[in-house]
Amino acid sequence: MKIVIWIINIVFLLVSLFVGITIMNFTCGVFNNASAVIKKEVYPAALLKKYEWFKNASAELDKKQADISLYASKIISMRKEYEGEKRSAWDRTDKETFNIWEQELAGIKASYNGLAAEYNAQMAKINWAFCNIGKLPPGAITPLPREYKPYKEN
């Protein structure tokens, strides 16, 4: 009878030891994962990479806005040149050029809208919220825009 109690105590001790080791392993894993996430998201190298992404996206959006203005002014200029005439009376090469400009303008607007949506979504994420507060990094003159408005067609 004492042997049975002794075996039960040993089994209980081994199970308790196994459960304790499992809990410690889980706890260490949680802390290890937390430190990996912190390193990935808020270490200076990660923050710099995120800031650079915003800076590049902002510059690209500004370029697309300038391209949209350029194509819009070309289209307006050609329309004024042929004001009062039916489109069928336009010079063939001017019609082709006009059509190309309209297609390129639509493509740039669509590209702008896609990048603006991504920029706005990234800026709204909590792990990128550092861009919304704090001082500018050395060398930066103006803060990044908080949001870009998409182009809307009538």
Model confidence pLDDT, tens digit, residues 42-65? 677 777 788 888 889 999 999 999
Are residue 69 and residue 129 in the same domain, yes or no?
Answer: yes
**Model confidence, pTM:** 0.65
Are residue 33 and residue 47 in the same domain, yes or no?
Answer: no
Are residue 74 and residue 147 in the same domain, yes or no?
Answer: yes
For the segment 82-134, what is each residue's pLDDT rounded down to a tens digit?
Answer: 999 998 899 999 999 999 999 999 999 999 999 999 988 888 776 665 555 55
Are residue 122 and residue 88 in the same domain, yes or no?
Answer: yes
Answer whether residue 41 shows pLDDT above 80.
no
Residues of the domain holding 142:
43-154
Are residue 30 and residue 66 in the same domain, yes or no?
Answer: no
Token pair recorded at residue 140: 């930066």
Are residue 23 and residue 54 in the same domain, yes or no?
Answer: no
Q: How far apart are the first and last CA of the chain?
A: 91
Are residue 27 and residue 53 in the same domain, yes or no?
Answer: no
